[in-house]
Amino acid sequence: MNLSLFADEDQAPAAPAPLVPGSSASLLLRAFALPYLDELLPALHAIVLAAPLRHMATPGGLRMSVAMSNCGAQGWITDGRGYRYARLDPASGRPWPPMPPVFLRLAQQAALAAGYPGFTPDACLVNRYAPGARMALHQDRDECDFTAPIVSVSLGLPATFLFGGAERADKAARIPLLHGDVVVWGGPDRLRFHGVAPLKEGEHALLGAQRINLTFRKAG
């Protein structure tokens, strides 16, 4: 990764905005992560050195287009045995890297700004999208505690976040996400289907031809 320590955008965080009309349970926090970049990017670099990104396989044997890693007490994995959380990195047999303090601080402050105080994530999924990579509509159902929100941080290339309803067939809102944006959803929106449209070609000034997504969850 090309991880410069200098922010490339002079944009102040904006007030939280609803992801979908009429719901205060899912909010978009524009540019919220930008003030954290000087600490966030070196911490991210250390994580992927300790637990390299890899393309996991779905239970059906399909290779995921998104490369993944984790940090925190729990890590999300997928293989022929199914989707689940594991305390050990299956590639190394060692615990996942601990969640850096700046990661935890960002996740907790974003959750608080969205109306979810007391968020204590124990897992952070690190997802790398290259151009063409996508995430199909899905629900986050592998966690034990659905009362905790999901906090999702976007870094690098712009992406289109798909935020649907309670059923996979429900029409999904298409929400453009930029470098530094944070999305938080929980409460009655916690099990909405969501995904990411195929990433378009591009070159970000800090991160190059990729988008990094940090997804914070309370797994245990």
Return binding residues: 76, 83-85, 127-129, 138, 140, 142, 168, 194, 211-217
Contacts of 113 (CB under 8 A, 6+ apart): 16, 27, 29, 32, 184
Query: What is the rounded distance in angstroms from the CA atom of residue 178 to the CA atom of residue 157?
Result: 7
Query: What is the rounded distance in angstroms from the CA atom of residue 27 to the CA atom of residue 201?
Result: 27
Phi then psi for residue 97, to 5 deg, are -55, 145
Q: State the binding site for 2-oxoglutarate.
A: 127-129, 211-217
Query: What is the rounded distance in angstroms from the CA atom of residue 110 to the CA atom of residue 154?
Result: 13
DSSP state of 46: H
Q: How far is CA 93 from the centre of its chain?
A: 24
Q: Distances in Å between the alpha carbon of 212 and those of 5, 132, 207?
A: 15, 14, 8
Query: What is the rounded distance in angstroms from the CA atom of residue 31 to the CA atom of residue 13?
Result: 5
Q: State the binding site for Fe cation.
A: 138, 140, 194
Q: State the binding site for substrate.
A: 76, 83-85, 142, 168
